[in-house]
Amino acid sequence: MIPTPQGLYCPVGDFHIDPHGAVDRAIISHGHSDHARKVAKKYLAHKDSAGILRTRLGKGISLSTLEYGESLTLNGVRVTLFPAGHLLGSSQIRCEYKGNVTVFTGDFGTTKNDTCKPFQPVKCDTFIPESTFGLPLYEWTDPEIVYQEINDWWRQNRDKGLASVLYCYSLGKAQRILKALDTSIAPIIVHDSVDQMNDCYQNAGIDLPQTLTGWDREGKPADAGALEGLCFQIIPTGVDC
């Protein structure tokens, strides 16, 4: 693997991983916008990423998919995907050539995540991890405690006659939080961009709570009546990662 202006490149296999410039073949670790860009003639990703990539990059992209543990050989390099525990379809990319193994993770998560397969350690000679929040200064509260705090806050707001609004990434974080919400509290409204990603999850067999859509794609209220309820609204932040 070597760095190039377009991103990480495997010269023997002749493919890039999560490229950010024009390339022939890209292997995509997951659907977040800092990893999946419309720059390649051909894409390879996990099959559960297909809906996300087609929604975000276009229905017409040339996309091949693999199951976890399934392999494809590209110019003698055996490529296999393993779960990264980050979001639906997120994959570590294992590349084997003449017995030497390199693993690229993309973003990965080792805490419990009910919306995707758990991270699976993969034996290798070279490990290339993404570590956006890898510095020791990042110490996160247990997600189960955060979910409890969100539900408690939502319930208290409802009792005061207030709607609750939460901002988060439309892909990954939104579905993880939706899965943890106590749906008995009040109706849930999501932005259209969250709704689109919810469809991808549900099409891949991940159950999510029933939601309403409050905005159209221009950001205008699509159902003013729904907004008057004591609801919980999830609105996307800008770029996800």
CB of 88 to Zn ion, least distance (A): 11
Stretch that binds Zn ion, among 16-24, 25-33, 177-185, 225-233 (CB under 5 A): 25-33
CB of 80 to Zn ion, least distance (A): 20
Of 48 and 96, the one with the shorter C-beta distance to Zn ion is: 48
Residue found by looking up tokens 């969250």 in the block: 194
The arrangement of strands across the sheet holding 188-190 comes to 164-168, 232-236, 188-190, 212-213
Can you say how many angstroms the Cα of residue 201 is from the centroid of all Cα atoms in its chain?
10
CB of 86 to Zn ion, least distance (A): 6
CB of 107 to Zn ion, least distance (A): 4
Of 107 and 195, the one with the shorter C-beta distance to Zn ion is: 107
Question: What gap in Å lies between CA 122 and CA 128, rounded to an integer?
Answer: 12
Of 25 and 30, the one with the shorter C-beta distance to Zn ion is: 30
Among 16, 25, 32, 46, binds Zn ion (CB under 5 A): 32
Q: Which phi-psi region, left, alpha or beta, contains residue 34 (left: φ > 0; alpha: ψ -120 to 50)?
A: alpha
Cβ(216)–Cβ(149) below 8 Å: no
**107 makes contact with Zn ion (CB under 5 A):** yes
Beta bridge partners of 80: 71, 94
CB of 171 to Zn ion, least distance (A): 8
**130 makes contact with Zn ion (CB under 5 A):** no
Of 137 and 239, the one with the shorter C-beta distance to Zn ion is: 239
CB of 130 to Zn ion, least distance (A): 8
Which tokens sit at 212?
A: 């309403």
Taking each helix axis as running N to C, give the angle between helix 192-203 and helix 173-180, from 0 to 180 degrees, rounded to the nearest 10: 80
**48 makes contact with Zn ion (CB under 5 A):** no
Residue 134 burial (C-beta neighbours within 10 Å; 0-12, 13-18, 19+): exposed
Of 37 and 154, the one with the shorter C-beta distance to Zn ion is: 37
Q: Which residues bind Zn ion (CB under 5 A)?
A: 32, 107, 241
